[in-house]
Amino acid sequence: MTTVRSDDVEFPHSREHDVTSSPNELQRHFERTIEHDHRIEPRDWMPDGYRKTMVRQIAQHAHSEIIGMQPEGNWITRAPSLRRKAILLAKVQDEAGHGLYLYSAAETLGADREDLTVRLIEGRQKYSSIFNYPTLTFADVGVIGWLVDGAAICNQVPLCRSSYGPYARAMIRICKEESFHQRQGYELLMTMMRGTEAQRRMVQDATDRWWWPSLMMFGPPDVESPNTAQSMAWKVKRHTNDELRQRFVDMTVPQAQALGVTLPDPDLRWNPERGHYDFGEIDWAEFKQIISGNGPCNAQRVAARRAAHEGGEWVREAAAAYAAKHTGGRTGPDRHKSTYAASAAVQDRHKSTYGDSGSAA
Amino acid sequence: MSGDAAAVSPRSQWPLYEVFVRGKRGLNHVHVGSLHAPDDEMALRHARDLYTRRNEGVSIWVVRAEYITASSPDEKDPFFAPSGDKVYRHPTFYEIPDNVPHM
C-alpha cells in the first residue's frame, strides 16, 4: 500500500516509509511522536535500543505472569472451601491470560514466542524475583493477593500510558483484572483475621515473610538503576522505582492497620515533613542473590515451567497434525508471519539483538 | 513422530490470529489482541478463553494475521493525503446562521 519500498539494510523496519526519509528524519519523527504523548505502533520506525528495551521488558513481564501461576497454583487442590478454590482457579487462569496478552505484545516487535519460552526455561531471560519465594500456608495466598498484586498494580497502572501501544493496551486489560486479585486476597485475610488465634498468627507470619520481597518488586534504588533515565525519556516508564515503592508503602500502611497486622519494619513511621511514610533499609544483597538465581525456589520454578512446556509438546504436535489433516496442510512453517513484524529479516535480526542481558524489572 | 514437517510443527509455527470481539449487540467488533492456534476452530476457543473471561463479548471473529492487508501506520503517510484537504466533507465547513433551526 505504500509507494516505494527499499531494501535498505540499515533500516529494515522503515520499509514502509518513503526512501527519502533519512535516518535523522525517522529519529525526529519517533521523538516527536513520544513528545506529543502519542503511542508508538508496531510497524513504526523505532530506534533499535527502544525495540530491544521493549522486548526485554515485555518478555520479562510475560514470564513473570506465567511463572507467577506456580506459587498460588500450589494451593488450588488444598483450598479450604469450594468458594476459595473457584476464586483461586480464576485468579491463576487470569495470570496465564496476562502472560499471553504480553507475549502477543512482544511478538508485535518481531520477537518469537517459542524463542521467548526457550529463553525462559534456559534461564536466559528473567522474571520477577518475587516468585522465587515459597508459599508455605494458605495465608500466603491472601498476602500475595494483597501485597504482591498490590505492588504489581502500583507498577502497572502507570504502564497503561507506556509509549508502546500494544504494551499499554495489554496493561489496561491486565490492570482491570488485577483489581479482583488484590481484593480477593485482602478479603481472604480479613476472613482469617476474624477466625482463630492460629489463623491470625498465620496471617501475621505470611505478612512478615512477604513484606520485604514485595518492596523489592519495584527494582533497585534509583541511584543503581542506570536504565531508568532512558526509559523515562522514552516514556516507557513513567515513574522511578523509588517513587513507586514509596507510593506502595503509603497505600499499604493503612490497609495493614485496617487488617490488624504489623508490617515487619521497626523504622516504618509517618514523616509529616515529607508527607510520606519513612521505611527501613531493604536487604539488597538478598535481592541480588535471588535475581542471580539463588533464591529458595528459582530452580523449582524454572523446572516446573520446563516440564510443562516439554510435557505439552505432544499436544501441540497433535493439534498441528489435526489441523494439517483437515486443512490440507495449510498450516505450514511460512504461514505464521505477523502482519506487524515487518519481515523475516527483521525478526532474524532482532533475535540476535534482544534480551540476553535482562536485569530484573 | 510423523515425517511430515507440517504435522509436527512446534507451537510457534501455529499461525497467528488476530481477534475481534463484539462487546454487546449494537456495537462493532473491535480488535482486542492476537493469539496462536493450530486451526480456525481452536483459535475461536482460545479467543473465548483468553479475551472473554468476564462477559466481554457476545461474538468473536478470528482471522489469520497473514490475511490482513494493512496500510502503513505512519500518520504522515501520503496514502491518507486525499482526505487531508477536503474540509468541505465536514458539516462545520458550512456557515449557517444561528436563527436557522434544526440544522
Q: Which residues contact B91 (CB under 8 A, 6 or more apart)?
A: none
A331 and B39: CB-CB below 8 Å? yes
Query: What does the pLDDT profile of chain A (361 residues) look like in tens digits?
Result: 333 333 333 333 434 444 456 788 899 999 999 999 999 999 889 999 999 999 999 999 999 999 999 999 989 999 999 999 999 999 999 999 999 999 999 999 999 999 999 999 999 999 999 999 999 999 999 999 999 999 999 999 999 999 999 999 999 999 999 989 999 999 999 999 999 999 999 999 999 999 999 999 999 999 998 888 899 999 998 999 999 999 999 999 999 999 999 999 999 999 999 999 999 999 999 999 998 889 999 999 999 999 999 999 999 999 999 998 887 655 444 444 444 444 443 444 444 444 333 333 3
Residue A3 is which amino acid? T
- Under DSSP, the state recorded for A145 is I
Taking any CB pair shorter than 8 Å as contact, residues of chain B touching chain A are: 1-2, 4-16, 18, 32-36, 38-39, 42, 49-50, 53-54, 64-66, 68-74, 76-79
Give the whole-angstrom CA distance, residue A13 versus residue A29. Answer: 14
Give the whole-angstrom CA distance, residue A181 versus residue A187. Answer: 10
CA-based nearest distance B92→chain A, Å: 26
The residue length of chain B stands at: 103
Give the whole-angstrom CA distance, residue A48 versus residue A358. Answer: 16
Contact A44, B73 (CB under 8 A): yes
Chain A positions in Cβ-Cβ contact with residue B16 (cut-off 8 Å):
107, 336-338
Cell 502503513 found at:
B72
Chain B positions in Cβ-Cβ contact with residue A115 (cut-off 8 Å):
12
Q: Which residues contact A220 (CB under 8 A, 6 or more apart)?
A: A241, A284, A287, A360
**Which helix (DSSP H) or strand (DSSP E) does residue B21 occupy?**
strand B16-22
- Under DSSP, the state recorded for B92 is G
- Name which of A41, A94, A327 is nearest B73 (Cβ-Cβ): A41
Domain boundaries, chain B: 13-89
Strands B29-36 and B16-22: antiparallel
Q: How many CB atoms lie within 10 A of CB A127?
A: 27
- Under DSSP, the state recorded for A38 is P
Burial label for A250, CB within 10 Å (0-12, 13-18, 19+), is: middle
Task: With a threshold of 0.85, tell me whether the complex ipTM lies above it.
Answer: no
Contact A236, A40 (CB under 8 A): no
What is the distance, to the nearest Å, from the Cα of residue B91 to the centroid of all Cα atoms in its chain?
28
Looking at domain B13-89, which of 3.40.718.10, 3.30.70.360, 3.40.50.1000, 3.10.20.520 is its CATH number? 3.10.20.520
Which residue of B1, B2, B4, B13 is the best one to mutate when testing the A interface, meaning the one whose CB has the most A CBs within 10 A? B13
